[in-house]
Amino acid sequence: MGQRFEVVLVTYRSRALAEALLERLPAQTPVVLVDNAKGVDGVQDLVAGRPHTRYLEGPGEGFARGANLGARTSSAEYVIFVNPDSAPTIDQLETLVDDLASDAHLVAVGATTVQPDGRVEIGVGGWEPTPWRCLVHALGLHSHWRTAGVYAR
C-alpha cells in the first residue's frame, strides 16, 4: 500500500496562504496542491523542494471539484482536506487519521476550528445549533430572520 495519508490543498489565488501553510508542515508531508486559478499566482512553484508534494491544475470550477480531483488522484489510504487559510500541525493531521483508523464505524472525521486564543470558532458554515435555532429553521422562519436559523447567511 502507498502512503498513509495525503493532504489535499485546493487553492484559488491564495499563494501567500498556501505558502505559509506548507512552511508550517514538514517537507516530507504528502500534499497534493490543486490550483484552481490555473497558474495565475504561481502556486506551482511551491512544490519545489518538497519531494512529497505534487501539483495539479484544477478545473477552476469551485472547491468541491478541485477537492475531488485531488482525492481521486491520491494513492494514499486516507485524504485530509485542508483549507489554505488554516494552520494544522502535523500532529493534528496524524490525530485525525488515527481517530478515523481506530473506529471502523467512522467514514469521516473533522477538526474543530479554533481562534488564535483557543476559543472554538462558532459560525463556520453555520451557527451553533440550539433548540431555538432548529425550531426557527423547522418553521421556515429563517428566511425572514436570516441570523436566527441553523445556517448562517
What's residue 123's pLDDT?
59
Q: Please enumerate in sequence order all residues whose Cβ is within 8 A of that of 56, keeping only pairs 6 or more positions apart, or say none.
A: 32, 33, 34, 35, 69, 70, 73
Q: Rounded distance, CA 143 to CA 87, Å?
A: 34
Model confidence band, residue 112 (pLDDT cutoffs 50, 70, 90): confident
State the pLDDT at residue 151.
Answer: 62
The predicted-structure confidence for 17-35, as pLDDT tens digits, reads as follows 999 999 999 999 999 999 9
Cβ contact 32:73 at 8 Å: yes
User: Helices (DSSP H) in the chain: which residue ranges?
Assistant: 15-24, 63-72, 90-101, 131-138
Q: How would residue 152 be classed by pLDDT, with cut points 50, 70 and 90? A: low
pLDDT attached to residue 73? 97
The confidence score (pLDDT) of residue 1 equals: 44
2-12, pLDDT tens digit by residue? Answer: 589 999 999 99
pLDDT band at 117 (very low <50, low <70, confident <90, very high): confident
Cell numbers at 113, concatenated? 476550528
